[in-house]
């Protein structure tokens, strides 16, 4: 599967849930490609903007769509990596904002080997 096929498969399903891919098509395709790289590397599509441990159970919270997406989109209009956004953000009705990391510090430190 390539990024175009992944986009075609996920887009309609996620839109029904109120999540839209980033309107910047190049960014969307880059992020989808990185998800596929992580799938090849780790066996699961870990968020490309976070460090994965490569163990599904340890990474479960960052497997796309991550456990933090819903809260990020509700509060900031987009998720941490910017792949998913709500309709208003997608349509340019909301300004882009920095989304803070919600992943617990102990998981971030573990991914960095600092646990």
Q: Where are the domains of the chain?
A: 3-112
Cα separation, 35 vs 41, in Å, equals: 10
Q: Report cis status (omega within 30 of 0) of the bond before 48.
A: no
Residue 1 has pLDDT above 80, yes or no: yes
Q: Is 12 helix (H, G, I), strand (E, B) or coil?
A: helix
Cα separation, 3 vs 36, in Å, equals: 7
Average pLDDT of the segment spanning 96-114: 89
Cα separation, 56 vs 86, in Å, equals: 27
| Percentage of the chain modeled with pLDDT above 70 | 99
Cβ atoms 35, 41 nearer than 8 A: no
Q: What is the pTM of this model?
A: 0.91
Sequence-ordered alpha helix ranges (H) in 48-104: 56-59, 69-76, 87-90
CATH homologous superfamily of 3-112: Ferredoxin thioredoxin reductase catalytic beta subunit (3.90.460.10)
């Amino acid at each position: 599967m390539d990024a175009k096929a992944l986009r075609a498969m996920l887009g309609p399903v996620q839109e029904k849930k109120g999540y839209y891919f980033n309107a910047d098509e190049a960014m969307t395709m880059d992020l989808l490609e990185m998800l596929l790289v992580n799938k090849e590397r780790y066996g699961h599509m870990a968020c490309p903007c976070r460090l994965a441990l490569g163990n599904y159970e340890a990474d479960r919270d960052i497997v796309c769509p991550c456990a933090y997406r819903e809260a990020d989109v509700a509060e900031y209009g987009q998720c941490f990596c910017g792949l998913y956004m709500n309709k208003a953000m997608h349509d340019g009705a909301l300004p882009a904002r920095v989304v803070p990391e919600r992943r617990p510090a102990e998981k971030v430190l573990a991914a960095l080997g600092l646990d």
